[in-house]
Amino acid sequence: MHMLEVQDVGWSASGTPILDRIRLTVKPGEFVALMGRNGAGKSTLLDLIAGIRRPLAGSIIVQGRRLDAWSAAERARLIGHLPQAIRPELPFTVEQLILMGRYPWADRWFESRDDRAAVEHAMVRWDCLQFRHRPVATLSGGERQRVLLAACQAQSPRLLLLDEPATFLDIDQQLQCFSLLREESSKDTACIAVTHDLNLALTFCSRIIVLADRTIAYDAPTPEASGRPEWLGLFSARLQLTTSPSGQPWVCYQ
């Protein structure tokens, strides 16, 4: 069964079409890079899949069931969503914020031993255990981003929607971020990550989807995208697909 089916979905803002007849399916275990130029509708599409916006046309189906048939609590157990921007002045400690990721599983206001264990595990994996008691507002942008990613993991979703997850991260942390996301998808979690980094997508993701002209302009497994560079023209005429010394497909800028 597909984890996600998007069927002829459309959305407009103030009468201006943003997305039109979007069709895609995502299976458990896929790590999809959702790409496109600024304004292509990437964040809007993630919001629609997360249930934050309602499509003006078409339907979204998750695990064989229309998204609007899931209750808010059911969606929260199933879908983890990291938006593009989060208010930096959140009045919580790191541990408190990550623990909020367990709220859909909690017994009313009380967290369980399993909840605590999931939070501890997420803090270790995303390298933020050392500032678990610090207020989130005191963190750097990269530190805060790792905390938000840890909160998404602690939620234990089956579908992860991440809008530019490597934002604010240094080079090593970007590599670690995409490595961990690939590892999560290998556990039959479906992961869709918006990114502008072509090389991170080619290195870690299993599939490339490019939005352009309000629809899906390109959709292919990463090995196919690595062998046919024509899709790079959707971003810029100044891109060239080459090979790194290790044999890895690599996009160079001219």
Q: For the whole model, what pTM was predicted?
A: 0.95
Q: What is the 3-state secondary structure (H, E, C) of the chain?
A: CCCEEEEEEEEEECCEEEEEEEEEEECCCCEEEEEECCCCCHHHHHHHHHCCCCCCEEEEEECCEEHHHCCHHHHHHHEEEECCCCCCCCCCEHHHHHHHCCHHHCECCECCHHHHHHHHHHHHHCCCHHHCCCEHHHCCHHHHHHHHHHHHHHCCCCEEEEECCCCCCCHHHHHHHHHHHHHHHCCCCEEEEECCCHHHHHHHCCEEEEEECCEEEEEEEHHHHHHCHHHHHHCCCCEEEEECCCCCEEEEEC
| 18: CATH | 3.40.50.300
Whole-number pLDDT of residue 226: 94
Measured CA distances, 118 to 103, 112, 162, 251 (Å)? 12, 10, 19, 37
Query: For the chain, what is the mean pLDDT?
Result: 94
> What percent of the chain has a predicted confidence (pLDDT) above 70?
98
Whole-number pLDDT of residue 104: 87
Q: Per-residue pLDDT tens for 59-71?
A: 999 999 999 999 9
Mean predicted confidence (pLDDT) in 42-56: 96
Q: Per-residue pLDDT tens for 125-172?
A: 999 999 999 999 999 999 999 999 999 999 999 999 999 999 999 999
Residue pair 158/135 in contact (Cβ under 8 Å)? The answer is no
Measured CA distances, 21 to 12, 36, 56, 76, 216 (Å)? 12, 16, 11, 26, 9
> What percent of the chain has a predicted confidence (pLDDT) above 90?
85
CA 161/CA 217 separation, integer angstroms: 20
Residue pair 32/194 in contact (Cβ under 8 Å)? The answer is no
Q: What residue numbers bound the domain in which 132 lies? A: 4-253
Whole-number pLDDT of residue 35: 98
Among 40-54, 101-115, 131-145, 240-254, where is mean pLDDT lowest? 101-115
Provide CB contacts within 8 A for 234, sequence distance 6+: 36, 37, 210, 212, 217, 218
Domains contained in the chain, number: 1
Q: Is the pLDDT of residue 107 over 90?
A: no
Whole-number pLDDT of residue 211: 98
Tokens 């981003």 sit on residue: 145
* Burial class (CB within 10 angstroms; exposed 0-12, middle 13-18, buried 19+) of 245: exposed
Q: Is the pLDDT of residue 108 over 70?
A: no
